[in-house]
Amino acid sequence: MKIGYIIPNCDVSGGISVVCQHVNRLAKRGHEVFLLSVDKAKPMDWFPDQRVPVVGLNDWKGDLDVLVATGWSTSFLLSSVSATVKCYFVQSDETRFHPPETRWRHLTALTYYFGVNYLTEAKWIKHWLNETFGHRVELVPNGLDLTIFHKCDPLEPRGKRPRILLEGAINLPYKGMSEAFEVVRPMDVDVWCVSSYGVPKPDWRCNRFFEHFPMQDMRRVYSSCDILLKLSRVEGFFGPPMEMMACGGVSVVGKVTGYDEYIEDGVNAIVVEPQDIEGARAAVQRLIDDQSLRDRLIEGGEKTANQWGWEDSIDILEKYYSDLLSNPLCWANSTRRAEFDSSICYVYDFMCRGMLPEEITSSDSLQSVPPHAQKLAAYLASKRWFWTVSAAVKSVYKAIKSIRNSSATKQSSVR
């Protein structure tokens, strides 16, 4: 099969690392696989043994058997690449990534109405997509690569004080990093932090900081720390606690969506209520004080990590794509559904090119433009330079309309 995955960029992220597992493992099975980057293509050497070609989406030529969107923004680009089957790999409810009533939240919500094939990594997402939107969803569980995550020599030997690891994108509030720093602020511990987006604030206590850290080296960070504190408010499958388990550590996590895919409170981790600062602090201190509890959870975590290999999931994924190709029912241009999918893509392009919601709903909106001008705007949108030319078209139209109104007023006055 010839398969392409659309990614927003080539930067370090948990979601893209999952995609890299998909594509590299499919490639090893003999499939022709590509990563199509919306941003400029560049080497992704942060992911271990990454060998799948990375191509800029604008530079891509040719057809695919299977095209896969990997997040809300990439789903709007499914119509721009030719493929027999088109899929949407949903890794979370991404509406929660945006503040309420923002245009990005509403745009993200639109993506779950696409008439494409859906797959996901977690049971809760499958249930949500089915119950809310009526989609039939294939579950391809995330796995753990034990060649990447395992016990190893630490980056730095542990000292007398316990070492707490905080992991997550600092500049994304829903990752709960400010809360995690608040938990450890008064504690007698060393604090290490890993962030792919944002740096600790000056008044946050941080003994060592890692930014855009290569995945293959993360095991040395995990192996250097005693406890991972993870207080995200939005997750899909929730990978770092399992990675910490494989490296011989233990975690305190918030009760976030996806935690119960593999985490059992008191068996392989400690679970606290969301945003419960005092509860999280007490849990960390409990692990520090109770060696027997810590040892029991570490043992439980190691057992859990050994149960989540990738190959069974790739078996499911490979069969899913093969079955779809045997009866492709996606983005068939002969159906009315395809028209609506294209309309959703148009709305996205329209709003992203500078047309704000208040402009769209105002009396001076594009709705007042004659049909032939609307068709021109749609054509320009498909060419990706809509925002500059449409602004000019709109200005010219307004000027002509103003002249006509002025002329009509004068004629009325004369009469």
133-143: pLDDT as tens digits: 989 999 999 99
User: What are the pLDDT digits (tens) for 236-250?
Assistant: 888 999 999 999 999
Fold identical between 2-143+311-332 and 163-305? yes
Mean pLDDT of 148-174: 92
Share of the chain above pLDDT 90, in %: 61
In this predicted structure, what is the pLDDT of residue 258?
83
Estimate the crossing angle of helix 371-382 against helix 386-414, to 10 degrees: 170
Domain ranges of the chain: 2-143+311-332, 163-305, 353-404
Q: In what order do the strands lie in the sheet with 83-90?
A: 54-56, 32-37, 2-7, 64-69, 83-90, 117-120, 137-139
> 2-37, pLDDT tens digit by residue?
999 999 999 988 899 999 999 999 999 999 999 999
Q: Output the CA torsion sign for 122, 124, 129, 134.
A: positive
Residue range 163-305, CATH number:
3.40.50.2000
Predicted pLDDT at 351 = 67
Is residue 160 scored above 60 in pLDDT?
yes
Q: How far is CA 12 from CA 16, 60, 214, in A?
A: 7, 22, 8
Backbone phi, psi, residue 294, to 5°? -60, -45
Assess whether pLDDT exceeds 60 at residue 83. Answer: yes
The residue with tokens 């977690």 is 122
Q: What digits encode the pLDDT tens for the residues 248-273?
A: 999 999 998 888 899 999 999 999 99
Q: Compute the average pLDDT of residues 142-155.
A: 93
Interval 330-382: pLDDT, tens: 544 445 666 677 777 777 776 666 544 444 433 333 333 333 334 434 433 44
Q: Considering only the top CATH level, what class is 2-143+311-332? A: alpha beta
pLDDT of 317 strictly over 70: yes
pLDDT at 340: 73
pTM to 2 decimals? 0.78
| Average pLDDT value for the chain | 84
